[in-house]
Amino acid sequence: MNASLSPRAAIGLFLIVVLAWGVNWSVTKQLVQFVPPLWSAAIRSWIALIGLFVILRASNNLVIPERHDVPVILSVALLHMTLFSTLAAAGLRFIPASKGIVLGYTTPLWVALAAPLIGKDTLTAPKVGGALLGLAGLAVILNPSSIDWTNANVVLGAGMVILAAICWAANIIYLRSHRWIASPLQLLIWQVLVATMVLSVTATITDGLPHAEWSWRLVWLFLYSGLIGTALAYWAMSMVNKSISALTTSLGTTATPIVGIASAAILLGEPIDISLAVAAALIVAGIGLATLVDRPLRAQATARG
Confidence of residue 120 (pLDDT cuts 50, 70, 90): low
Whether 64 maps to a domain, the answer reads yes
pLDDT surpasses 60 at 204: yes
Confirm whether 215 is domain-assigned: yes
Residue 230 has what pLDDT?
A: 94
pTM (global) more than 0.85: yes
Q: How many domains does the chain have?
A: 1
Residue 41 inside a domain? The answer is yes
Residue 300, pLDDT > 50, answer no
Residue 1 resides in a domain: no
- Say if 2 falls within a structural domain: no
Mean pLDDT of 238-245: 76
Q: Which residues contact 6 (CB under 8 A, 6 or more apart)?
A: 243
Q: Per-residue pLDDT averaged across 278-291, rounded?
A: 86
Per-residue pLDDT tens for 157-173? 999 999 999 999 899 88
Place 131 in a pLDDT band, splitting at 50, 70 and 90: confident
Q: Would you say 101 and 256 are in contact if contact means Cβ atoms under 8 Å apart?
A: yes
Domain that holds residue 64: 7-302
Percent pLDDT > 70 in the chain is 91
d(CA 57, CA 73): 19
294: left (phi over 0), alpha (psi -120 to 50) or beta: beta
- Give the pLDDT band (50/70/90) at residue 304: very low
Q: What pLDDT, on a 0 to 100 scale, did the predictor assign at position 247?
A: 63
The mean pLDDT value for 50-59 works out to 91
Give domain status of residue 11, yes or no. Answer: yes
12: in domain: yes
Is the model's pLDDT at 265 over the cut of 90? Answer: yes
3-state SS of the chain?
Answer: CCCCCCHHHHHHHHHHHHHHHHHHHHHHHHHCCCCCHHHHHHHHHHHHHHHHHHHHHHCCCCCCCCHHHHHHHHHHHHHHHHHHHHHHHHHCCCCCHHHHHHHHCCHHHHHHHHHHHCCCCCCCHHHHHHHHHHHHHHHHHCCCCCCCCCCHHHHHHHHHHHHHHHHHHHHHHHHHHCCCCCCHHHHHHHHHHHHHHHHHHHHHHHHCCCCCCCCHHHHHHHHHHHHHHHHHHHHHHHHHHCCCCHHHHHHHCCHHHHHHHHHHHHHCCCCCCHHHHHHHHHHHHHHHHHHHCCCCCCHHHHCCC
